[in-house]
Chains A and B, each alone.
Chain A
Amino acid sequence: MLALLPFHKSILEDIHDPATSDFVLLARGLGLRRIVCTLMKIYDSPQSLTLLLNASPDEESAIGEELGVMGCRKPGLRAVGYEMGRKDRQDLYNQGGLVSVTSRILVVDMLQSDIPTELITGIIVLHAEKVTPLSLEAFIVRLYREKNKIGFLKAFCDEPEHITSGLSPLRTILKELQLRTVHIYPRFHEDIKKSLAERRADVIEVYPHLTESMKDIHTATVQCMTTTLAELKRSNTTLDLDDLNVDNAYFRSFDAIVRRQLDPVWHKVGPKTKQLVSDLATLRRLLTYLLSYDALAFHAYLETIIASNTTGAGGGQKQHQSPWLLTDAANIIFQVAKRRCYTLSKKKLTFPSADDLDPAEDEEAWAALDEIEFGAGAGRRAEKEKEKEKEKKWLPEGMDPVLEELPKWETLAEVMEEIENEMLRFESMGMSSSFTPGSNTVLIMTSSTRTSNLVSEYLESMDASAPPGQKGRKMMQRKLRSYLWWKSKLSGQKGDGRPPSRLPEKVGHVLDVGDAAQDEGVSEALKRKDRERVERQQNRRRVRGGAANASVSTRGKEKKNEVTAVGEGSMKDEADDIAEFLMTHGTSAAELLSFDDSGPPSLTAFDEDIARSLDAPEFDDVYGLLAPQQTVVVRSYSDDSDDMMLAEIQPRFIVMFEPNQDFIRRIEVYRSSSPGLGVRLYFMMYRNSSEEHKYLLGLRREKDAFERLIKERGSMLMPILEERRSGSNDAMIKTISSRIAGGRKELNKEPSSVIVDVREFRSSLPSLLHASGLVIVPATLTVGDYVLTPDMCVERKSIPDLVSSFNSGRLYTQCELMSVHYKQPILLIEFEEHKSFSLEAVSDMKSYVKPTGKYPQKKPNNGPADPDGPSAPSIQSKLVLLTLSFPRLRIIWSSSPYATCNIFADLKLNNPEPDPSTAISVGAEDDAERGAGVNAAAEELLRSLPGITAKNVHYVMSKVGSVRELCELGLEQVQDILGVEPGKTCYEFMHKSSRKKW
C-alpha cells in the first residue's frame, strides 16, 4: 500500500466529508489515484451506495486492485458492464458498496428508476475535465440532484490544461456538476511544497548535446514548420490564427486548435489547406522521431514520406505536393539524415569526408546499387552467387556505413557504469540491501514503448570496450542489414510491381517490429519472453510483491544462462541454430527473406514453451535467481499506475531517458513516502532541442493553466443552482394560456414527455431534451428513435449515420415502418454543433465511403443524360428518392442538438402526450416479449436470412428461441412460420451445402 504524505492527508481532510460536494483539481503526478482510493475506502460499506463514474476499463481494474491491497476486498469495487441484465443490476445497486458504472448505463437506470437514486450515498466522477453541457455526466448529475439532495458528489481532475474551452471553463464544469467548492492543488501549493521539500531526490542532470548533423536536421525542420505555418496563415486570412505559432505546434493539441478554427469552414477550405495541416503534424512527428529513432529508422521514415508524397493514391503524380518538401530546408533534412546512416562513393572514402558528395552522383550510385544487389531481372540464384562472392562484406560496394548513434545512448552507457560502481561501493561499505530499503534494480524510463525497446536492445548488444559513439555498433549494423533488406523490397516493388509483403508506410512506423523479427533469434525470443514476463508480472504483482522485480532486460551474460535454463525443448536449439547461421554467414537479402519466413513459426513454438514453463510452479526457480542489482527495467511512462510500479520495484537508481514532469513528481512523492531511501535520479535531456523546449513549455502551460483557474475561481460568480421545477407547472401554464382557444381542450396536467429509444442515449440529444424541461422515458422501441406525440415519430440520423443507412438500405425500411405505424413519420437530420451546417461536407465523406461505380443505371428511363453530373453529391439524390417514395415523410433539418430541442418543444406544443406502452408495442405486435432486452447480434443475423423481412422478424423471434433452433426445424415447420414461399427460400438457404455447389 502506498503511504499518504501530509499533503494527501490534508486534501483528504478537506474533502472526505460526505455532506459536502467538491471539485478537486490536482497537479498530475501527485498521486490522484491514491486519494481517490483512500476516499473510496472510507465510503465502502454495504449500507451505502457509492458510484464511480468515468473510469476507463484500465483504471477500473487498477483502482479495484489498489482497493484490494488497501483491504476492501469483499466485495470491493464491482464494475457494471453491458452484459449484466437489468435484474442483476438492480440487485447490485440494492446491495450497496462501491460500484463502477459507465455513464450510458447509469442514465438509463436512473430514468427507469432501476437504481434507487434517492438512496445513493455519493458519486465520484473522474476526469471531470471532460464534462461539458452536452456530456452524459451532466445529465446524470441533473437526474441525481432532482431526486437526491443530500448525497455527495466528488469530482476529480488532474489535467488543468484541458479546462480551457469557452469563456469561463471552470464555471461551466461547476455548473454542470452542480458544485460550489473547488480545491485547486498545483505543485506550488503551500502544503505540497512543504511535504515534498523535506526530502529531495538526488538529481543528476545530464544534458547531452545533439550531434552536428542532428542539429542541422533540427533547425531545418523548425524552419519547415515556420514556412508551413506562414503558408497556412496566408491561405486562410479570415481566420483568427493568433494561437497558431511554432510554440504551440510542438504539442499534439495543436491539431485540435487548428481543427476547431477550421471546422466551421472545413468543407470550404481547399485540399491545399488540408495538406498543410497534415504537414504540420508530420513535421512535429519528425522532431520527436529525430530524438528517439535511431538514424536508420529515421532515414527510412523520411524515405517513406518522400515515397508517399511523390505518388498519389492513384499511382499517378500527386496533385498537391507538400510545400515544405520543396524547400531548401527539406533538402538539408534528407541529405543529412542519409549522411547519418552511410555515405556512398565509387571509390573508397573515409566517411567524415562525405560532405563533398553531390546528390546527383548519389542517386546514380543508388541506382547502381539496386542493380548490383537485387538485379531487376536476375534470378535469385544468380543473385545469391553474386552475394557469396563478396560474402565477406554484405555491404554493397561503395557504401560506407556511418551509423551515427544517438548521443543519449553513449550517456546512458556511462550512467550505467557509474551506477554499477556506485553499487559496488555500497556493497564494499557493507551496506547490504537487507538493511537499507530499496532494491538495486535500475529503472530506465522512456517516453514510448518503441524507445524502451530500442534502449533495451542497445543495452543488450552494447560493447563496453568500444570507443565512444561506437558502442551500439553491433546493433546498428544489424539494423542496417534489415534496412537494406527493406530498401530492396521498396525498390523491388517499384520495379516489377510484385505484391509487397510489407507496405513501405507500414515499415516506416513499425520498423522496429520488423527489425525485431530479423534480429538474431535469441534476442528475439528473449524479448518476447520479457514481454510475457512483464505481463505476468503485472498480473502477479499483488501476490508476489517486491519479489517479482525480475528484469525486463538483463545484461548479456545472465541472458544466455537464462535461455539454457528455460528453453530445454528442441525449439530452443532451432532458434539458436538460426541465430548462429545468421551470425556466421553474411546475410544476403534472400537469406534474410528466408529467415523471415522460417523464423516466426519456430519462435512461436518457442514462446509456447516458455509460456508453459511460466505456468509451471517453478517460476521462482527460473526467474527468482537474479539478484536485483543485475536487473534493469526499461519502461515507458504511463499514468498513475507508475506510482504503484515505483512502490513495488523500489529502485534506488532511476534514469529518465526523456524528460517528463509528471514522473519527476512521482519520484518526489515516492521518495518522500519511503523514508530512509536514497534515490538517485539521472535526468537526461538534449540541450537546445525540441525536447527541452517542449518540456519547459509543458511546465509553463500547466502553471499558466493553474494560475488562470485560480484567478477564475477568485472572480467567479458562483452559479446559483436553481431548483428544478417539476414539469407540471409548465404544463399548467401552457394549458391555461389564453392564446389557445380556451376550453376547447381538456386541461392537460401531465408533464410533457418524450419517449426515447434506449439505443439513443449515446447521443447528447436526450440530455438536452431533459434539460429543456421534458420528461424522458427510456424504452426499447421497435419503430423510430423518439416518439413525441401519439402521431409523431422521429428517426434521428447524424450525417455519417445517414450516409451509411442509405447505403445499407436500412433507412428505407425504417421509414417504411414509421409510415405504417404513425401518422407523421419524421426524419431528423442532425448536424453537429460548430461544424458546418451543410451537406457539402458529406460529399467529402462520401468519396471514401464508397468510391465509384455505385449507380450503374442512374439514368432515368426518359432522361437524356446523367442527372447531376459527376460532381453532384449523391446523398441529395437519395434524399429525393426517399421523399418521393414516402410523400408523408417530413424532414427536420437541424443544425445542432440544441436546435433539435427547440424544434421538438415546438412540435409538442398543444399536442397530446405519447403513451410509452403503446409506443413500445408499436411494430412489435406479434412479438410476445416486447420491451425485453434484445440480443442484437442474433436479431441482426436473423434479419439477414432470406425470407425474413423487417415485418415478420418479430413474429419469428417469438416463435423460435434462437437462430440455431430455426436451423434445426424441418421444412414444414419453417413454412408454418414464414409462409410457403419464403419458408422454402429460407430453408433451402440454410441447408444448401455450399461445398457441393461451389
Chain B
Amino acid sequence: MSSTAARPPVKPPVVQPGTGNNIIVNPCQRLNPILDHVRNVGKEFGDIVSDFQVGRTTGVLFLSLKYHRLHPEYIHTRIEKLGHSFNLRILLLMCDVSEHQEPIRELTKTCLINNITIMVAWFPEEAGAYLSTYKQFEHRPPDMIKERVDKDHLSILRTALTSISKVNKTDVETLRTSIGSFAEIASTPSSRLLSLPGFGQVKVRRMKDAFEKPFRNQA
C-alpha cells in the first residue's frame, strides 16, 4: 500500500503503465459500461491501485451510487488501498439513484479528509467523456479557463471600458475616436461626455463613478 505509489510494481506481462498515451484500466472495471464511452484515447489493462489511471499522477476511482447503496463499505476499502498515491485523486461518482443527497454528503466528507476530488456524472457517456478528457488534458496548460489576456490595445481598451455598466462597444468607439487615450477619457469632464452621441445622464454618472470615485469609501 505504501511505496507502490504512482508506478505499480513491474510484473512481466503487464505493460508499464503511466507512460503511454493510454488510459490504464484496472481489470476489475472490465465490465464497466462506461468503458464503451471512452473515446479517442487508447485503453489498456494494468495492475494499478486505482480504477483508472488517466495520467502519470492522476488516479480515478469509480463508484456508482447504486452500488454504494448496496455495499457502503466498498469505497472505503478502495480509498484505503489507494493510500497516498497520486497527486490528483478523483472519485468519479455515477449519480444513478434519485436519493442522492445523503450519500453525496457522506462521500463529500470522506473525500475531503482523504484528499480526493469528487466529480459527478449522470450518464455513462458523461463519465466516459470525463475519463478521456482527463487523459487528453494531462499536459494541457490551463489557458482555456484562464483570464484571457488580449494583446492588442483596442481590445484591452474595450474590455476595460465595457466593464463599466451601461457602456457598450459602440460607446467605446465613440470615446476612442472623439476623445482619445484612456488617460484622456479618464480626465474628460462630464459636460463633454454628455455631448457625445449615446451618452445620457446615467451612463456618464456610471463612468464618473468608476473613474473618479475613490476605490474605498470610508464607511
Contact = CB atoms under 8 A, between A and B. Distances in A.
Q: Do A and B come from one complex?
A: yes
Interface of A: 85-87, 806, 808-813, 824, 826, 837-840, 855, 860-869, 872-873, 876-885, 887-896, 899, 902-903, 906-907, 929, 932-935, 937-946, 957, 960-964, 967-968, 989-995, 997-998
23 contacts: A86-B219, A809-B148, A812-B142, A837-B100, A839-B120, A840-B123, A863-B40, A865-B40, A868-B132, A878-B144, A879-B119, A882-B145, A883-B88, A899-B101, A906-B106, A907-B112, A939-B215, A962-B211, A967-B182, A967-B183, A968-B187, A994-B180, A994-B181
B153 A994 contact: yes
Contact of A935 (B39, B106, B160, B216): B216
Given A878-B145, A889-B117, A895-B100, A938 B122 contact: no
Given A906-B105, A962-B214, A994-B180, 5 more contacts: A811-B145, A862-B21, A884-B137, A902-B105, A940-B163
A826 B129 CA distance: 23
A485 B177 CA distance: 37
Contacts of B95: 837-838
B41 interface: yes
B108 interface: yes
A941 B164 contact: yes
A371 to B, nearest CB: 38
Contact of B147 (A813, A860, A895, A929): A813
Contacts of A939: 215
Contacts of A997: 153
B216 A963 contact: no
A34 B59 CA distance: 68
B104 interface: yes
Chain B residues touching A, range: 35 or more
Given A895-B101, A997-B153, A903 B216 contact: no
B156 A867 contact: no
B10 interface: no
Nearest to A888: B115
A863 B41 contact: yes
A907 B108 CA distance: 9
A867 B90 contact: no
B117 A891 contact: yes
A805 to B, nearest CB: 9
B58 interface: yes
In order of increasing CB-CB distance, the 5 nearest A-B pairs are: A809-B147, A967-B183, A887-B88, A86-B219, A944-B160
A779 B87 CA distance: 34
B19 interface: no
B186 to A, nearest CB: 4
A896 B101 CA distance: 9
A879 B95 CA distance: 17
Contacts of A810: 147
Contacts of A877: 129, 133, 137
Contacts of B153: 989, 992, 994, 997
Contacts of A879: 119
Q: Which of A887, A906, A957 has the most CB atoms of chain B within a 10 A radius of its CB?
A: A887
Between A860, A933, A991, the greatest number of chain B beta carbons within 10 A of the residue's beta carbon is seen for A860
Contact of A864 (B40, B157, B164, B212): B40
A995 B153 CA distance: 12
A513 B67 CA distance: 63
B169 interface: no
A837 B96 CA distance: 11
B90 A992 contact: no
Given A812-B142, A967-B187, A872 B129 contact: yes
B118 interface: yes
A868 B129 contact: yes
B176 A994 contact: yes
Contacts of B213: 935, 937-938, 962
B36 to A, nearest CB: 14
Contacts of B182: 945, 967, 989-992
Contact of B183 (A894, A929, A968): A968
Nearest to B180: A993
Contacts of B212: 962-964
B69 interface: no
A596 to B, nearest CB: 20
Most A CB contacts (10 A, CB to CB) among B142, B156, B176 go to B142
B148 A890 contact: no
A929 B216 contact: yes
B88 A962 contact: no
Nearest to B86: A887
Given A868-B132, A906-B109, A860 B215 contact: no
B32 interface: no
Contacts of B40: 863-868
A135 to B, nearest CB: 22
B100 A884 contact: no
Contacts of A837: 95, 100
B112 A938 contact: no
A864 B132 CA distance: 12
A863 B146 contact: no
A813 B216 CA distance: 22
A85 B161 CA distance: 26
B196 interface: no
A867 B187 contact: no
A806 B119 contact: no
Contacts of B186: 963-964, 967, 990
